[in-house]
Amino acid sequence: MIDAIVFAITIVLPNLALMGLGFFMQRRGEVSQAFIDQASYFVFNYCLPCLLFFSVVDSEVNYSKQLVLIAAGTVVTFVLFIGAELYAKRFIRKPADQGVFVQGVFRSNMAIIGLATVANAYGSDGLSIGAVYMGVVTILFNILAVITLSRVSKSLDDTLLSRSTMVIKKIYTNPLILALLAAFAYKALPLPSIPAVIHTTGDLLAAVALPLALICAGASIDLKAMLHLSGLSMQASIGRIIIAPLVAVAVGLAFGLSGVHLGVLFLMVASPTAAASYVMAKAMGGNDVLAANILAFTTVVGLFGMAIGAALLRALGLI
C-alpha cells in the first residue's frame, strides 16, 4: 500500500506544485490576465502540438493495439453524456444550466492535466498512448458539447446545418488534432528522418507545454468561485470527480484493460473539467458563472480525487 501511495503522490504532486506556483504568482500580482491568455494561446497553438507530434513520431508504440482503449474511452464518454443529459432533463429546469451541467460532467481536461499526469506516471510511452486517445476523444467532446449547449440558442440562424458547420470547423482547425494527424501520416509514409535542428526545436517547445499550461491553470483559479458553489455546481462536480472515474474503471475492466492502458483511461477520464468548457458555454449562451464554478472546484479537488483513485487501483494491482 505504501508503494501505491508513493505512486499517487509522484504523479499528482508535480502538477499541484506547478498550479500552486501559478496561483501564488497571481496572488502576488506577478502575472496578469493578459499574460495568462497569451501564454495559454501559445501553449495550445504551438507547444502542445509539438509535444503531441514528436511524442507520436518518436514512440515505438503499436497504435493498432490502442483500439480497445479508444473504444472504451468512447463508451465512457457516451455513458457520462447520456447519463448527465437524463439527469439534467429530470432535475434541472433552466436550459442555460442544463448544457453547462452536462458538459461539466463528461468533458475532462485531457490536454493539460490528463497528459501531464499520464506523463508523470508512465513516461514517454504512456504519453504517446495518451496523445492518441486524446486526439480521438477530443473530436467526440467537441461534437457532444455543441449538441448539449445548442439547446440555449433561440436564434433563427442557429440550425442543424450551422451547428454541424461549427463542429467541423472546430475539428479541422484544432491544432492538437492536426498535429496528431500529421504525426500519423509521417509514420505511415516512407519519409526521410526529421532534421536534427527541427527536432531539437520541436523538443524545446514541447518541453515548455505542460509546465506553462499548469502554471496558467493555477493562475486562473478563482477561489471566490470555488468556495461559493451552488447546489447545481456541486452536483456537476460530484459527477466529474466521483462518478466519471468509477465509470471509467468499470468500463475499462469490462473491456479487459489493465496496466498502462487502464491507467491512461482512468487518468484521462478522472481529470478535472476541461477549461474549454467555460469558453464554449460563454460563446453559446450557457450559464458561464455555473461553468466557472464547476471548473474552479474540479480543477483543485479533482487532483486529489485522481491521487486517491490511482493509489487504490495501484494497491489492487490494476494499473
Closest CA to 152 of 105, 216, 88, 215: 88
40 residue type, one letter: S
Taking only the tens place, the pLDDT of each residue in 144-184 is: 887 888 765 545 456 667 767 766 777 777 788 888 889 88
Q: What is the distance in angstroms between the CA of the first residue and the CA of the last residue of the chain?
A: 13
Taking only the tens place, the pLDDT of each residue in 208-227 is: 988 998 898 888 777 776 66
Residue 45 clears pLDDT 90, i.e. is over it: no
Residues 6 or more apart from 91 whose CB is under 8 A from it?
A: none
pLDDT at 157 (0 to 100): 58
Taking only the tens place, the pLDDT of each residue in 6-27 is: 888 888 888 889 988 998 998 8
pLDDT at 158 (0 to 100): 60
- CA separation for the pair 317, 105 (Å, rounded): 28
Q: Give the position of cell 503499436.
A: 62
Pick the CATH number of 2-315 from 1.20.1530.20, 1.20.1250.20, 1.10.10.10, 3.30.565.10: 1.20.1530.20
- CA separation for the pair 120, 8 (Å, rounded): 10
Taking only the tens place, the pLDDT of each residue in 70-103 is: 999 999 999 999 999 999 999 988 888 899 999 9
- CA separation for the pair 208, 234 (Å, rounded): 33
Per the confidence metrics, is the pTM higher than 0.85?
Answer: no
What are the angstrom distances between the C-alpha of 84 and each of 71, 91, 97, 107, 191?
A: 20, 10, 12, 11, 45
Residue 48 clears pLDDT 80, i.e. is over it: yes
Alpha-carbon dihedral of residues 51, 54, 57, 62, nearest 10 degrees? -30
- CA separation for the pair 56, 69 (Å, rounded): 16
pLDDT at 80 (0 to 100): 97
- The domain locations on the chain are 2-315
- CA separation for the pair 141, 30 (Å, rounded): 34
pLDDT at 96 (0 to 100): 83
pLDDT band of 30, cuts 50, 70, 90:
very high
Backbone angles phi, psi at 273, to 5 degrees: -60, 140
Taking only the tens place, the pLDDT of each residue in 246-288 is: 999 999 999 999 999 999 999 999 999 987 787 777 767 778 7
